[in-house]
Amino acid sequence: LCTMNKDAQMRATINQKLIETGERERLKDLLRAKLIECGWKDQLKAHCKDVIKEKGLEHVTVDDLVAEITPKGRALVPDSVKKELLQRIRTFLAQHANL
Amino acid sequence: VYLSLFQAKSCICHMCGAHLNRLHSCLYCVFFGCFTKKHIHEHAKTKRHNLAIDLLYGGIYCFMCQDYIYDKDMEQIAKEEQRKAWKLQAFTPTVVSHYQCTMTGIGEKYSTWEPTKRELELLRHNPKRRKITTNCTIGLRGLINLGNTCFMNCIVQALTHTPLLRDFFLSDRHKCEMQSPSSCLVCEMSTLFQEFYSGHRSPHIPYRLLHLVWTHARHLAGYEQQDAHEFLIAALDVLHRHCKGDDNGKKANNPNHCNCIIDQIFTGGLQSDVTCQVCHGVSTTIDPFWDISLDLPGSSTPFWPLSPGSDGSVVNGESHVSGTTTLTDCLRRFTRPEHLGSSAKIKCSGCHSYQESTKQLTMKKLPIVACFHLKRFEHSAKLRRKITTYVSFPLELDMTPFMASSKESRMNGQYQQPTDSLNNDNKYSLFAVVNHQGTLESGHYTSFIRQHKDQWFKCDDAIITKASIKDVLDSEG
């Protein structure tokens, strides 16, 4: 029974292509490097420390931290980084137009 | 477990087949499960296997505590396995990224620093700590003029504020290879950095440095005023040789295989293309360089036009305003195609005869620190004089238009790729300017150096004063 709609199916196909060609890994590496370069990683690290100080080291689990910092993490990604990755993905899709 | 990271791509969740959702491996049996979808949690509950390891970062999760736990013994084992795995993986860049390595070319994996017992002891015995605030002046120190040594002082100021060089020396990375360490210029540089960053505010007297320079670069000895640019090149040369323990230039100097800190930071590759005007065959050579020496307008060789039929195109956001020569103008002139006249025919391997040709220089490989030398001192057969034409230079410089790769793209008819403007690889930030006041016979060198991000200081031998960005950009250069 196929319960996926067309969008989700497209996403899955693209994702598979990204993984197969190794592009997903490359994009991840690029994103990692960009986020360190622009100071995002340091900002979030500082935020983590604040959360731990506030809640106390004994009372915070990794999952708590993840839940706490994810929204801020998402918001702090600079537009230029988003643009660049989008550009990369677009280029990739253009090259694999037979999707 | 760490070797299994090699095959991490073939590890998939036993329940849903995914391998991307924070896959964990059970520590009691062979089971892989997603963390995000709670598959590993289910396994832990049903089998009462309460420990699992995160396959991406190696953290150990305890289902009883419902959190990652940190056991000293496990951390030790993890560190050791990581180190071994890194050595094996060093040739597969995609997997290496999991360990957040920085490709410094020195071949060491980045790991966070943990003090050894001895270091802890040292730290306890020396409780004084120095905190770097935005307005602290650490690293700034005047230099006494030992008799027309301002040419040396300026270059020393520039070198001690070169971030990569500073980091290299302050983290004690120099291991002396010289037969007699007392004659090693690199060791002396190391001492110099210690002096500069010691926090002392009195000017430093660089007599040992001067003596070593005189010993190893005889042509600079004596109390006459010397050329700062010549000193820079001589200093880099001696430092480069001493990094390999080459005391008197006897060892074969093969710049292509040297990996010393000087080469890593300062060496670039200059590509020279000679095109035969008859068969259009191109002969290419690449030479290493430490500096880019630029001719100026007003010298005996004509400056304008930059190239046959050139227009005032916009480069680096500066259009050529008639009257002000820019650094970019000088660079464009440096990389222009040049007709080698009929008296300088080159033997063409395509035509097998001497033909007229054009020669063009472009940047093949950019150094991390680029030194631009404006040739203000003219020593021609007729006269020796100083060209004082003001040349404006920017705080940020994009070298992309002068790259060999850009030239190839232009020749193939491709316009500049739009992603190049997002690519920061060819962009430079200004951090030091050396100026000469006066004439060829009697003059004085001073320098401007950038300490923190936007704080500039003027160094006039022993006197250091705060300077504005405008002061820097208005200076002659």
pLDDT-based confidence at residue A75 (cuts at 50, 70, 90): very high
Domain boundaries, chain B: 23-90, 149-243
Nearest by CB: B419 against A29, A36, A87? A87
Handedness of CA B234, B240, B241, B243 (dihedral sign): positive
Residues B406-436 have pLDDT tens digits of 877 776 665 555 444 445 678 888 888 888 8
DSSP state of B441: S
Nearest by CB: A62 against B67, B94, B422? B67
Specify the DSSP element, H or E, that contains B130: none
Averaged pLDDT, B239-266: 72
Averaged pLDDT, B96-121: 56
Q: Percent of chain B scored above 70 by pLDDT?
A: 77
Report chain B's mean pLDDT, rounded to a whole number: 77
Radius of gyration of chain B (CA): 29
Residues B272-310 have pLDDT tens digits of 998 888 888 888 899 999 999 988 877 666 666 554 434
CA separation for the pair B296, B389 (Å, rounded): 8
CA separation for the pair B53, B20 (Å, rounded): 15
Say what the ipTM of the complex is. 0.71
What is the model's pLDDT at position B311?
Answer: 43
Residues of A numbered 38-77 whose beta carbons fall under 8 angstroms of chain B's beta carbons: which are they? 61-63
Among chain A residues, the shortest Cα distance to B421 is held by A84
Q: Percent of chain B scored above 90 by pLDDT?
A: 3
CB-CB neighbours of B277 under 10 Å: 15
Terminal alpha carbon distance of chain B? 58
DSSP state of B417: P
Give the closest residue to B209 by CA, choosing from B228, B189, B194: B189
Among chain A residues, the shortest Cα distance to B418 is held by A87
Q: How far is CA B402 from CA B149, B306, B415, in A?
A: 35, 14, 14
The domains found in chain A, sorted by start residue, are 1-96 (1.10.246.140)
pLDDT above 90: residue B19: no
What is the model's pLDDT at position A15?
Answer: 82
What is the model's pLDDT at position B227?
Answer: 83
Domain B23-90 has CATH 3.40.630.10: no
**Rounded-to-5 percentages of helix, strand, coil across chain A:** 80, 0, 20
pLDDT above 90: residue A77: yes
pLDDT above 80: residue B257: no
| Of the candidate ranges A5-9, A24-28, B149-153, B467-471, the one whose mean pLDDT is the lowest | A5-9
What is the model's pLDDT at position B381?
Answer: 66
Q: Is A87's CB within 8 Å of B67's CB?
A: no
CA dihedral B44, B48, B54, B59 (to 10 degrees): 140
Among chain B residues, the shortest Cα distance to A62 is held by B67
Q: Which residues of A touch B59 (CB under 8 A)?
A: 62
Whether the upstream peptide bond of residue B305 has omega within 30° of 0, thus cis, is yes
pLDDT above 90: residue A40: yes
Residues B36-73 have pLDDT tens digits of 888 888 888 888 888 888 887 778 888 888 888 888 88
What residues of B are annotated to the active site? 150, 444
CA separation for the pair A41, B26 (Å, rounded): 30
Q: Is A29's CB within 8 Å of B97's CB?
A: yes
Q: Which residues of B touch A29 (CB under 8 A)?
A: 94, 97
Residues B429-477 have pLDDT tens digits of 888 888 888 877 778 888 999 887 778 889 888 888 888 888 888 887 6
Do B152 and B185 form a contact (C-beta atoms < 8 A)?
A: no
CA separation for the pair B325, B303 (Å, rounded): 10
| Of the candidate ranges B9-13, B194-198, B245-249, the one whose mean pLDDT is the lowest | B245-249
CA separation for the pair A84, B420 (Å, rounded): 11
Terminal alpha carbon distance of chain A? 23
A3-12, A43-52, B74-83: which is most confident: A43-52
Per the structure block, which two tokens stand in for B225? 């005023």
What is the model's pLDDT at position A98?
Answer: 64
